[in-house]
Every structure is written in C-alpha cells, then in structure tokens.
Chains A and B, each alone.
Chain A
Amino acid sequence: MKVKTFYLFASLMLAGSAFSQGTAQKFDPAQFPGYVMDEVVVPVPSEIFAVLDKLGDPNWKDELRKLSTPDSSDRMELSLVFGTVVAEGFVAVQAQDKQAVEEIGREVINIAQSLGLTKAVRPHAQSILDAVQKDDWKAVRKEFDQTQATVRAEMERMRDNDLAQCVSLGGWLRGTSSATSVVSKAYTNDRAELLNQPMLVDHFSKSVGSMSDSAKNNRLVTAISKGLVTIRKSMDSPDGSFTPEKINTIHTTCEELLALILQVKKSR
C-alpha cells in the first residue's frame, strides 16, 4: 500500500494559527507556523471521471483503447506503460466493459511479471477478475487503485522511486487524455474546469527533475518533461477558464506522449 510517510521532530514556533480556538480561520501560507509537506497524492482517473458522469453521459466505450503487449525490457518504460494500463482499467470500469476489464487484468499481470512484481500484483489482479464477474464495479475500481498503490509501494521499497513516479505519470497522462477527449466532445466551462490541475503538473515536473541522470536521459522521460511544460502553459489562466483550444492542446500533448510510451509496444 502506498503511503506518503513524513517524520518531523522539530521545535517550530507556533505563534499564530490556521486554527483559532478550534475554529479554522483563514490560511495564509506566508504566516503558517507549521510545515507544508511536499508529498502529493495523485488523484485516480475515477475522481475526474465521476464528475464527468455527473455533468453528462459520456460514451466511455468510445474512450477505451485496444491493449497491446509490452515489447520492452526497460523498467522505466514498462513502469510508464503499467501506469497507462491501470488508467485504462479505470476507463473500462466507467464503460462497464467486462471483457476489457478482464483483458486489462491479464495485461496488468503480464507487465507486473516483466517488472518482477507478480507476487505483489497477482492477488489484486485476481480480485479484479472476481469482482468483474460479480458486476461489482466499485470493487473493481478499488482494486485498480490498490494495484497501482501496491506496485508503487513495492518500487519505493526497492528504492526505485523513479519507477514509482513513472507509474503515476503514465496513469495521469492516460487519465487526462480520456478526460480531455470527453470534454472536447461536449465542451462546457464546468467540464473544462476539471483540467485546472497546475499543482499536479508542477509536482510531476519536479519529480522528473529530481530523477537520477540515467532516468532523466531516458528518451521517454525527456519527452514527457517537455510535454509537461506545454501542458502547464495551457493551464495558466488568470480567471481559471479553459478554452476549447487549451483543452485541445492538453489532449494533443497527452496523446503524443502516450503514443511515444506505447511505441515500445507492438500491436497484438
């Protein structure tokens, strides 16, 4: 299970407060007497998909992609692919497509095997297959979340933090690609606002920037780093509005990066 652990034993001044006599007042980062943590929990695609469902009735089957089999032994590339496959699982859950979920469940096992994580992932993959047989979509969604969390936790346990970040990145790119596709097909301000995620993009850029030199030199990571700059620029909006053009730029950039990631794979 993925956790963001933080240990701090420092005596900091506690003058002033974001809490006043048990009631929260205003939060001013400049005056905050505590510690703002860097750790970020990246939302799963379902969080944004759930809102899109509330705002309309997207055709999630249209958003589903055909799976392909990994053609790489590069762990960094496999980690990016793993993230995209799990995100595809969330799309399949929205579409309530049993066959797609089963295929994705099997693909998850295949990639986990290539990453040497079969033991950790197999129970989740089995739970996904069991839950889909029972039409328990909520359980399937939860298992995809657990699968991703377990894989990242295993990677971090083995001090492969760069790989763990790649899993998150791949998942976010695929989730954002689907979300922007849905928004583009039925543009409204409410839907477009869901792409207001500059903090997440900054987080990913920072993560890539702090990767090892060998990781940063990976051709996919280099391309993603540049793509994130383009996406971040599209999210700069003084009034928080997102034009169809901005949505299109974010979508196109995600698609281009996903195409690069999936180029390491051959069609089934």
Chain B
Amino acid sequence: MNKLKLQCAVFCALFVALTSAYAFVDEAHDHAMEAATPFVEQGYTVREDYWNGEVESGQKLAVRHQLFKGNEYAFWLGTANEDCELELAVFDSKGQPVHMERKNGKFTCSVRVNPPATGTYTVVFSVKSKKERGVTWALAYGYR
C-alpha cells in the first residue's frame, strides 16, 4: 500500500512538473504573440508554427529559416521568466546581419527583416535571466 502511495506521489509530482514546464513554455509563446500584435495591425500574417523550449539561461540558440525576397518578415522572441535580457538577430548566408528595428519589451524581443535575397537565413537568439538557471522561450514569425 505504501509502495502504491509512493508511486502515486511520484507520478503526481512528475505530472505537475511536466505540465508546469509546458505551461511556462506556452506562456513564452503568449508573450511572443503580444509582441506580434502591433505587427498584425500593420498587415503581418503570423505563422501558426513556431519554435519553443526550455534552455539554460544565456545559452545561445540558432535556427535556420527560409525567407523569400519581396516579403517583409518579423520575428518575435518571448519568455515566461522575469528579469531577462533577450537577444535576437538574423543573418544571411554569408553571416551578415540583416535585421532592423530591434524592439525589447519586458518579456519579448522583436526584429524586422527585409531579406535582400531568397534563401536560408539564420536566426540567433538567447534569453539571459538575472535570477534563474533555466529559462523558457518561444520564437515565432510573421510576414507581409
């Protein structure tokens, strides 16, 4: 009986831990979408797919992404953690920065890109917390 109680307790603890992690990651996406709101008002279409996760504070991450010359793009980075420094930059295939108008909010960072050519670009970002070892993040984008 005691063993069963222990298993239940472990299961509940794991369930709570996992759902909490997902909740925080969702919250990071919510913040990214808050950053997207003014862009939507300017005619940007937000993509439903996005990247997200949990990572060590300050860890730099990069994703490669296809952009089409002729579209304008915006990338929105969000976190659920307070007191964080967010960095976000976009580079072309030669490693040159192509982003413009970086804007930082309390939980967000956004940049705009007019790709000079169609091809693969690299989006580099990080979330650095002053308090916590781990941070959540979500990266979304839109186009017009």
Question: Which residues of A approach B to under 8 Å, CB–CB?
Answer: 1-12, 14, 17-19, 22, 24-29, 32-37, 39-44, 46-48, 50-51, 54-55, 138, 141-142, 145-146, 148-149, 190, 193-200, 240
Contact with A along B26-67 (1 / 0, CB 8 A): 000100000000000000011111111111101111111110
Interface status of B84 (Cβ within 8 A of chain A)? no
Interface of B is mostly: strand
Q: How far is the CB of B143 from chain A (nearest CB, A)?
A: 6
Given the complex of chains A and B, what is the CA–CA distance between A47 and B68 in angstroms? 7
Contact B61 A34 (CB under 8 A): yes
Question: Which residues of B approach A to under 8 Å, CB–CB?
Answer: 25, 29, 45-56, 58-66, 68-71, 87, 89, 91, 95-97, 99, 117-120, 122, 124, 126, 134, 138, 141, 143-144
Contact B134 A9 (CB under 8 A): yes
**Complex contacts, A5 vs chain B, CB 8 Å:** 25, 51-53
Contact A33 B60 (CB under 8 A): yes
**Complex contacts, A3 vs chain B, CB 8 Å:** 29, 49-52, 138
Q: How far is the CB of B71 from chain A (nearest CB, A)?
A: 6
Given the complex of chains A and B, what is the CA–CA distance between A35 and B134 in angstroms? 16
Contact B47 A6 (CB under 8 A): no
**Complex contacts, B51 vs chain A, CB 8 Å:** 3-6, 37, 39, 41
Given the complex of chains A and B, what is the CA–CA distance between A107 and B119 in angstroms? 33
Could you pull out 18 A-B pairs where Cβ atoms are within 8 angstroms? A3-B49, A6-B52, A8-B54, A10-B59, A17-B60, A22-B87, A25-B97, A27-B89, A29-B122, A35-B62, A37-B51, A39-B51, A41-B141, A50-B70, A55-B70, A142-B48, A190-B70, A197-B66
**Complex contacts, B61 vs chain A, CB 8 Å:** 6, 8, 34-37
Given A10-B59, A34-B59: A18 in contact with B53 (beta carbons within 8 A): no
Given the complex of chains A and B, what is the CA–CA distance between A37 and B137 in angstroms? 14
Ranked 5 nearest A-B pairs via Cβ:
A34-B60, A6-B53, A51-B70, A24-B89, A27-B91
Given A50-B143, A193-B118, A240-B119: A37 in contact with B52 (beta carbons within 8 A): no
Q: Given contacts A8-B55, A46-B45, A199-B64, list 18 more A-B pairs with CB under 8 A.
A: A3-B51, A4-B51, A5-B53, A8-B61, A24-B91, A27-B122, A34-B61, A35-B59, A37-B51, A39-B63, A40-B64, A51-B71, A138-B45, A142-B45, A142-B46, A193-B117, A194-B69, A194-B70
**Complex contacts, B46 vs chain A, CB 8 Å:** 142
Contact A44 B47 (CB under 8 A): yes
Q: How far is the CB of B20 from chain A (nearest CB, A)?
A: 14
Given the complex of chains A and B, what is the CA–CA distance between A39 and B64 in angstroms? 8
**Complex contacts, B89 vs chain A, CB 8 Å:** 18-19, 24, 27
Q: How far is the CB of B110 from chain A (nearest CB, A)?
A: 14
**Complex contacts, B70 vs chain A, CB 8 Å:** 50-51, 54-55, 190, 194
Given the complex of chains A and B, what is the CA–CA distance between A10 and B56 in angstroms? 7
Given the complex of chains A and B, what is the CA–CA distance between A140 and B39 in angstroms? 19
Q: How far is the CB of B69 from chain A (nearest CB, A)?
A: 6
Given the complex of chains A and B, what is the CA–CA distance between A43 and B100 in angstroms? 21
Q: Of the candidates A9, A37, A41, which one forms a contact with B56 in the assembled complex, judged by CB atoms under 8 Å apart?
A: A9
Q: How far is the CB of B88 from chain A (nearest CB, A)?
A: 9
Given the complex of chains A and B, what is the CA–CA distance between A47 and B49 in angstroms? 13
**Complex contacts, B134 vs chain A, CB 8 Å:** 9
Q: Which residue of B lies closest to A146 (CB)?
A: B48
Contact A35 B60 (CB under 8 A): yes
Contact B68 A9 (CB under 8 A): no
Contact A32 B64 (CB under 8 A): no
Given the complex of chains A and B, what is the CA–CA distance between A22 and B111 in angstroms? 13
Q: Of the candidates B62, B118, B138, B143, which one forms a contact with A36 in the assembled complex, judged by CB atoms under 8 Å apart?
A: B62
